[in-house]
């Protein structure tokens, strides 16, 4: 298979800087998902890897070979697009076989590869159909089959599921992950959907306005987000954030409504330093002696309920509770062991200096 190295990749369009020095290495057989908001540079980075854009600076290496200036056809990569990009006048078989014919493979080798991919993707009965006779999910399978038959060193996926309905997206992302693991092909996958990112990637590259905000395994990013941007991007509903001030030698934070939050550890910084406290909706506690919450909305989802409300300073809060809930005034607490602490100025994660000694 292959490794991919991105070294200081930058891209500007005139005076607009889109990518600001991206460094990343994909191991052989690894799937890395690039995730971020619209306009953050995800697709631009993928197009640079594919050779459809030229970086303003930096290098792209495939298996140690510098392909930065190589033509797309010389990179031994296969790309799956969100709009399928199938030839409407060709049968499924011919769509999958087209690139192999261009390369001059024998008729027997082409038939073997197409049949193997068709068997793998459940397309065997559809090989004589035209794209217009297929559902969206079937067309996406054909697009994947066209990439598989090329036996590339690298798979590139550009939001391939964005045109599918919600149920089919769930089915197809499981299928993509199963196939990628079975084939063991190094893959780079772009999406704006954080659920896709969490379920598909061995690691995630979170982009924020062209900067690499964090590169790590999905659960590490979920449990230890590098900054407030990552914290609110990964996780649904998004992490709750509260402006606060550090006091008592770094062990206590005071919210804007005056509520005192004991941090359960000591954090660096002078008393009076600005902090941002974060907590996931599922970790907000309902506590009789906690902060009053004015409930605005109840969203029953069957096995769980989302409660939307505001605390005294007007800060929005979302809770996730198990089972049904009624619309009523609540009091909430922010457990210290579930808090994420960020610098109030930079938004960067703040690590503890120490934790209290355990009672003996």
Tell me the average pLDDT across 276-284.
Answer: 96
- CATH no. of 4-226: 3.40.50.300
Q: Give 284-323 pLDDT, tens digit per residue.
A: 999 989 999 999 899 998 889 999 999 987 899 999 998 7
Nearby residues of 147 by Cβ (< 8 Å), 6 or more positions away: 78, 79, 80, 155
Ranges in the chain annotated CATH 2.40.50.140: 237-343
CATH superfamily of 237-343: Nucleic acid-binding proteins (2.40.50.140)
Coil/strand/helix, residue 196: helix
Any bridge partners for residue 321, and if so which? 305
Q: Quick one: pLDDT at residue 330?
A: 87
Percentage with pLDDT > 70 across the chain: 97
How far from the centroid of its chain's Cα atoms is residue 165's Cα?
19
| pLDDT surpasses 60 at 359 | no
pLDDT band at 360 (very low <50, low <70, confident <90, very high): very low
User: Kindly report the CA angle at 223 between 219 and 224, in degrees rounded to 5?
Assistant: 110
**Three-state DSSP class for 85?**
coil
The structure tokens listed for 245 are 């001030």
Nearest 5°: the CA angle 38, 212, 267 is 115
Give 24-80 pLDDT, tens digit per residue: 999 999 999 999 988 899 999 999 999 999 999 999 999 999 999 999 989 999 998
Between CA 58 and CA 165 the distance in angstroms is 38
Mean pLDDT of 330-354: 93
The span from the CA of 175 to the CA of 177, in Å, is 5
Report whether pLDDT(356) > 80. Answer: no
> According to the model, what pLDDT value does residue 31 have?
96
What is the arithmetic mean of pLDDT over 121-147? Answer: 92
77-81, 217-221, 344-348: segment of lowest average pLDDT: 77-81
Average pLDDT of 244-267? 93
* Phi–psi pair at 245, nearest 5 degrees: -125, 135
Contact in structure between 266 and 249 (CB atoms under 8 Å): yes
pLDDT at 358: 46
Q: In degrees rounded to 5, what are phi and psi of residue 195?
A: -70, -45
Residue intervals in the chain for CATH 3.40.50.300: 4-226
Predicted confidence at residue 251, as pLDDT, reads: 94
pLDDT over 80 (residue 144): yes
Note whether 11 and 19 are within 8 A (CB): yes
What backbone phi and psi angles, to 5 degrees, belong to 333?
A: -135, 155
Residue 14 burial (10 A CB sphere; 0-12, 13-18, 19+): exposed
Select from 193, 196, 186 the least CA-distant residue to 147. 186
For residue 13, the tally of other CB atoms under 10 A from its CB is 10
- What's the rounded mean pLDDT across residues 172-193? 90
Beta-bridged to residue 206, according to DSSP, are 35, 214
Measure the CA–CA gap between 350 and 131, rounded to whole angstroms.
Answer: 52
Q: Of all residues in the chain, what percent are helix, strand and coil, respectively (each to 5)?
A: 30, 35, 35
Average pLDDT of the chain is: 92
* Residue 100, token pair as written in the block: 């192999």
Strands 16-26 and 31-35: unpaired
Q: How far is CA 349 from CA 143, 233, 268, 278, 340, in A?
A: 41, 15, 11, 10, 8
pLDDT for 16 equals 94
For position 38, what pLDDT does the model report?
87
């Amino acid at each position: 298979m292959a490794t991919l190295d991105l070294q200081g990749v930058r891209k500007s369009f005139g005076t607009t800087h889109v990518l600001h020095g991206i460094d990343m290495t994909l191991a052989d057989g690894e799937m890395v998902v690039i995730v971020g908001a619209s306009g953050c540079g995800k697709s631009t980075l993928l197009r640079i890897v594919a050779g459809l854009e030229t970086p303003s600076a930096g290098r792209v290496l495939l298996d140690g070979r510098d392909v930065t200036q190589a033509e797309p056809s010389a990179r031994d990569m296969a790309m799956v697009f969100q709009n399928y990009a199938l030839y409407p006048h060709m049968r499924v078989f011919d769509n999958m076989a087209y690139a192999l014919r261009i390369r001059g493979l024998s008729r027997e080798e082409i038939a073997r590869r197409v049949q193997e991919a068709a068997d793998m993707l459940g397309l065997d009965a559809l090989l004589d159909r035209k794209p217009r006779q297929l559902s969206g999910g079937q067309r996406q399978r054909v697009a994947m089959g066209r990439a598989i038959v090329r036996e590339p060193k690298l798979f590139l996926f550009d939001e391939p599921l964005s045109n599918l309905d919600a149920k089919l997206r769930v089915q197809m992302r499981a299928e993509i992950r199963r196939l990628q693991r079975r084939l063991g092909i190094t893959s780079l996958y772009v999406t704006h959907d954080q659920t896709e990112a969490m379920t598909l990637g061995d690691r995630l590259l979170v982009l924020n306005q062209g900067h690499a905000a964090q590169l790590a395994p999905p659960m590490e990013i979920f449990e230890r987000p590098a900054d407030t941007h990552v914290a609110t991007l990964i996780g649904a509903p998004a992490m709750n954030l509260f402006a606060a001030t550090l006091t008592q030698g770094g062990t206590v934070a005071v919210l804007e409504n005056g509520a005192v939050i004991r941090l359960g550890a000591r954090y660096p910084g002078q008393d009076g330093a600005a902090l941002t406290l974060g907590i996931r909706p599922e970790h907000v506690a309902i506590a009789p002696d906690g902060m009053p919450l004015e409930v605005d909305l109840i969203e029953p989802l069957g096995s769980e309920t989302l409660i939307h409300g505001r605390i005294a300073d007007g800060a929005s809060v979302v809770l996730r509770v198990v089972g049904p809930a009624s619309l009523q005034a609540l009091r909430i607490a922010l457990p210290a062991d579930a808090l994420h602490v960020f610098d109030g100025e930079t938004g960067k994660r703040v690590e503890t200096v120490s934790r209290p000694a355990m009672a003996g």
